[in-house]
Amino acid sequence: MKFLKALNIKDDNNGVSTGLIWPKAKGEKIKSFSPVDGKLIATCKGADRANYELVVNKATEAFMEWRTWPSPKRGEVVRQIGEELRKFKQSLGELVSYEMGKSLQEGLGEVQEMIDICDFAVGLSRQLHGLTMHSERPGHRMYEQYHPLGIVGIISAFNFPVAVWSWNSMLAWVCGDVCIWKPSEKTPLCAIACQNIIQTVFKKIVYPKALVGW
């Protein structure tokens, strides 16, 4: 199928990544069947405990750097991700439809939601405002300031295999957090496709090497 090739989905896929790096997955093999026709689409290898620990450790290291980036600069990364999603909207929408079972229009609509949240997050990256308040102490002022939390865990269900991840990750990224994604075992190929798409952005920038993991 053309959309599988466009998204770099192979017959057998590695299901562990820390961004640009794909450690060898040593967990259970997951078979993805299409509810459309019952056919096997492809397989992927999941993570074992050692893979999980590696992803968490790499994400922790990445957070130490990513949190120091100015929010507008983080927003620029998300803007570029939105542009890549626009390029692959048709192919990713078709994959969502075929692997999850939605109509094609619903699959395309879900990808459009991903694009929309990227646009929203880019704007948010320049609006992380805080209040400035008067103090009863002479020569002092009080103010609010946002600080990144750390690693954000994202667990998504099969019925929204890509949108839920993007709703959380794009906002987390502009706020200085890193993400670890556990997609549904019923729609693993959608997650791999998303990873392949955002890699095209990561390859062009100097960024923490575990900004995203799963």
Contact indicator for 207, 179 with CB cutoff of 8 Å: no
Q: What is the pTM of this model?
A: 0.90
pLDDT at 182: 95
> What gap in Å lies between CA 53 and CA 75, rounded to an integer?
28
Q: Alpha-carbon dihedral of residues 81, 122, 159, 93, nearest 10 degrees?
A: -40
Distance CA 54, CA 62 (A): 12
Query: Which residues span the domain enclosing 127?
Result: 2-6+13-213
- Summarize the confidence of residues 123-138 as an average pLDDT: 93
* Rounded average pLDDT over 63-82: 94
| pLDDT averaged over every residue in the chain | 93
Name the 3-class secondary structure at 196. helix
Q: How far is CA 66 from CA 38, 118, 193, in A?
A: 42, 18, 24
Domain count, the chain: 1
Question: What pLDDT, on the 0 to 100 scale, is given for residue 20?
Answer: 83
Task: Look at residue 114 and give its three-state secondary structure.
Answer: helix
Bridge partner residues of 213 (DSSP) = 180
- The whole-number pLDDT of residue 208 equals 59
User: What is the spatial distance between Cα 50 and Cα 46, in angstroms, rounded to a whole number?
Assistant: 11
pLDDT (average), residues 193-198 = 94
Report the alpha-carbon distance of residue 186 to residue 137 in Å, rounded: 59
What mean pLDDT do residues 67-95 have?
96
CATH number at 31 reads 3.40.605.10
In the prediction, which pLDDT does 123 show?
97
- Residue 211's pLDDT band, with cuts at 50, 70 and 90, is low
CB-based contact 71:125 (threshold 8 Å): yes
Three-class secondary structure of residue 208 per DSSP: coil
